[in-house]
Amino acid sequence: MVSVLRAALAAMFVAVFSVNASAQATLSVPEGLVQGQDITISYSDASRAGGAVTVEIDDGGFPVATVVTVTIQLDGQGKGSAKWRVPEWGCASFNAPGVSEVTREIYGGSASKARRTLPRMMARPRDGAID
């Protein structure tokens, strides 16, 4: 009975750590984007080595978002990058296979200013003071 329990525990341990080891995709986007700036978007996933990934970038528009795609060619280690010119949006959300969405604020326009002001306006005043 003890040996069966140990085997089950060992199998569970291996399964948990093998899932974590295989889920290593990363998407890197710089902070502080400025309209008209050229940035580098980087992606890494060893399981996709030699292939290509498509990064979808949207402006978060409602009811219809503007969406552009950037294709990144990966090298033999699964790493790659691509250039992208930041448009006149207020923010950009980046989505790629196997990673969580990355959202960045874009500076340089009225939409950007509105996005920075709203959270400040909604913040609770300290010590009952009204700004």
Residue 119 pLDDT greater than 90, yes or no: no
Higher model confidence: residue 116 or residue 44? 44
Residue 89 pLDDT greater than 60, yes or no: yes
Task: Tell me how many domains the chain contains.
Answer: 1
Query: Average pLDDT of the chain?
Result: 81
Query: Is 40 within the bounds of a domain?
Result: yes
Query: Is 130 within the bounds of a domain?
Result: no
Range of the domain at 89: 25-116
Q: How many helices (H) and strands (E) does the chain have?
A: 2, 8
Question: What percent of the chain shows pLDDT beyond 90?
Answer: 63
Query: Is 16 within the bounds of a domain?
Result: no
Higher model confidence: residue 54 or residue 117? 54
Average pLDDT over residues 86-91: 96
C-alpha to C-alpha distance for 51 and 96, rounded to whole angstroms? 14
Instruction: Please tell me the least confidently modeled range out of 19-28, 91-100, 115-124.
Output: 115-124
Higher model confidence: residue 113 or residue 6? 6
Indicate which CATH number applies to the domain containing 75: 2.60.40.1930
Cβ neighbours of 13 (radius 10 Å) = 10
Residue 68 pLDDT greater than 90, yes or no: yes
Cis before 119? omega within 30: no
Residue 90 pLDDT greater than 60, yes or no: yes
Residue 75 pLDDT greater than 50, yes or no: yes
